[in-house]
Amino acid sequence: MPGGSVCAVDKTMTMKDAIAAFVHDGDTVALEGFTHLIPTAAGHEIIRQGRRDLTVVRMTADIVVDQMLAGGCVTTLVSSFVGNSSAGSLGELRRRIERADPEPLDFREYSHYGMICRYLAGAQRLPFYPLRSYAGSDLPSVNPGIRKVRSPYPGPDGRPEDIHVVPPVSPDVTIIHAQRADRAGNTQIWGLTGVQAEAVYAARKAVVVVEEIVGDEVVRSDPNRTVVPSHAVDAVVACPRGAHPSFAQGYYDRDNAFYRAWSHISKDPARLRDWMAEWVYGTRDHAEYTARLGEDHWAGLAVGEALSLPVNYGRRR
């Protein structure tokens, strides 16, 4: 049988090369990570490379989406929550939607589970996915993508039963952030795993950004921890602290002060422009961004140790 000694395909790339190779003008790009492991660094590199006319798919359109809007990358947004977490508003997004300033935003609005089901349908190559949301909501009246199907089975009361459905989403590329992967792309996540696996399987191509690339033996010591197997991954990018200002469980904590600050930064177009100039256009890459934040800043986000107890996978004797 093929053993561990055989070299698997090496999919590691720099962030610059991965974005250049897998994100093109006009693409549909999913960025996932629910509060945890938000692929911010990838979003910044998309802005630096000046991508245009993107359709961005993201359940929680938060800071990184506001930044991509400010970078002029996005014409269409598919989302179920457009806010700066519980910390306030997204200034650029609100200007785009409320006043078409500086230009209109094509917003396709769903609910959280509607977005999850769109990924599930995309991942499972289904024409639609049924869900018990939307009945009586005004959302279907502004989103023709939300439709209904009649069940071929009688309902609980014996009469015909209708249920809402959403269509699949099949991004050109999905980008996620994770704690670690091997060079072939076997990706391990712990803590909140969100909708990352479904978003990757729904996409034509997938880029995984990780805190660290680890040896095969690390991944293989715990195969249940692998949330995305290598066959679904096209590029692996090592980018420590690439999820800032969100957090990476066991690596660094959420930068809550930055979330609160963002509402003020993004509210003022001039201040937002300055911030983008300094932190995105004014940094070569994420390493420069993290260095500019400074080690004192990172020390404030450092976390202590709470190790999982090992389990025995067993070995035939």
Partner 1 sequence: MTAAATAGTGGAPAAATSSELLSVVASRELAARRTVFAGIGLPTLAASLAHLTVAPDIEIVYESGVCGAHPDRLPETIADAVLITGAEAVLSMAALFGSVLQGGHIDVGFLGAAQIDRLGNLNSSVIGDWERPAVRLPGSGGAMEVMANSREVFVVMRRHDPRSFVAELDFCTSPGPDRALAEGITPLGAGVTRVITELGILAREGVGEELRLIAVHPGVTAGQVRAATGWDLRVADDLAVVEPPTAAELRLLRDEVDPGRVYLR
- Residues at the interface with a second copy (CB under 8 A): 125-132, 147-153, 155, 161, 163, 165, 167, 179, 188, 190-191, 193, 218, 221-222, 224-225, 249-251, 253, 302-317
Encode 72-103: b = buried (16+ Cβ within 10 Å), e = exposed: ebbbebbbbbbbbbebbbbbbbbbbbeeeeee
The CA-atom distances, in angstroms, between 262 and each of 10, 92, 202, 268 are 38, 11, 31, 10
Q: Which residues of 136-146 are buried (b: 16+ CB within 10 A; e: fewer)?
A: eeebbeebebb
Partner interacting with residue 308 (select from partner 1, a second copy, none; CB below 5-8 Å by kind): a second copy
Q: How far apart are CA 105 and CA 97, in angstroms?
A: 6
Q: Check binding of 195 to partner 1 (CB under 8 A).
A: yes
Rounded Cα–Cα distance for residues 212 and 36 (Å): 16
Name which of 196, 62, 78 is nearest 146 in CA terms.
Answer: 78
- Residue 128 or 279: the one with the smaller Cβ distance to a second copy is 128
Q: Which stretch binds partner 1 (CB under 8 A): 47-55, 195-203, 277-285, 287-295?
A: 195-203
Structure tokens at 18: 């991965």
Cβ at position 132, least distance to a second copy in Å:
7
Q: Which of 56, 64, 184, 207 binds partner 1 (CB under 8 A)?
A: 184
Helix (H) or strand (E) holding 92: helix 91-99
Peptide linkage before 102 cis (omega within 30 of 0): yes
The interface with partner 1 within residues 37-66 (CB under 8 A) comprises: 60
Binding site partner of 291, from a second copy, partner 1, none, Cβ cut-off 5-8 A by kind:
none
Kindly state whether residue 178 participates in binding partner 1, applying the rule CB under 8 A.
no
Judged by beta carbon distances under 5 to 8 A according to partner kind, the member of a second copy, partner 1, none in contact with residue 305 is: a second copy
Minimal distance, residue 314 CB to a second copy, in Å: 4
Site of tokens 């930055």: 258
Q: What does 82 bind: partner 1, a second copy, none (CB cut-off 5 to 8 Å by kind)?
A: partner 1
The interface partner of residue 85, options being a second copy, partner 1, none and the CB cut-off 5 to 8 Å by kind, is partner 1
